[in-house]
Structure 1
């Protein structure tokens, strides 16, 4: 079972999350009319063996988008950060329940 440590909610089963795709792919500029650039963005993906950055959304929890660094060979998770701050080394502290 894959468990994702949500920065807002704590460790949760992956069933609470929805996979959102490769987080390393850069979207072409909105006004870019180059068909090839959009084709590559939408349809062409690598299938890496090893460390990979992915978007996940916590749909049955806080609904936040996350950047998950996961090893695709053994599903071990190296880090989880809020997508709005993907370069953060440490997620913000959780507020205690009252």
Structure 2
């Protein structure tokens, strides 16, 4: 089991959380002006890096609040946890 630290509740078992996709994806400024291809890009296409990746998570089994994490996609290690109002922390990658 993995422990994930909620910014409000503290460390909890991974089963209390739900993954919410890539973090920091801005909503389109003028959604009505988007073509079908642009909507598809916004809705379905996400980054897929090898290494640190910013994600959204919800503490669905606890406070039900959303927060962001930076997770290493190679090791599944959670490198940082932060509130949605905070900027993404800079993470140094060591190989």
Query: TM-score normalized by structure 2?
Result: 0.81
Which residue in the other structure is 2:39 paired with?
Answer: 38
Q: Which runs of 4+ in 1 moved over 3 A?
A: none
Structure 1 gap ranges (5+): 90-98
Which residue in the other structure is 2:92 paired with?
Answer: none
Query: How many correspondences in the alignment?
Result: 88
Change (3 A) 1:45 1:31: closer
Give the Cα separation in 2 of the matches to 1:74 and 1:88: 20
Query: TM-score normalized by structure 1?
Result: 0.79
Aligned-residue CA RMSD (Å): 1.7
Deviation by residue 1:30-54 (Cα, 9 ceiling, x = unmatched): 4442123211011112221100000
Which residue in the other structure is 1:53 paired with?
Answer: 54
Structure 2 gap ranges (5+): 90-95
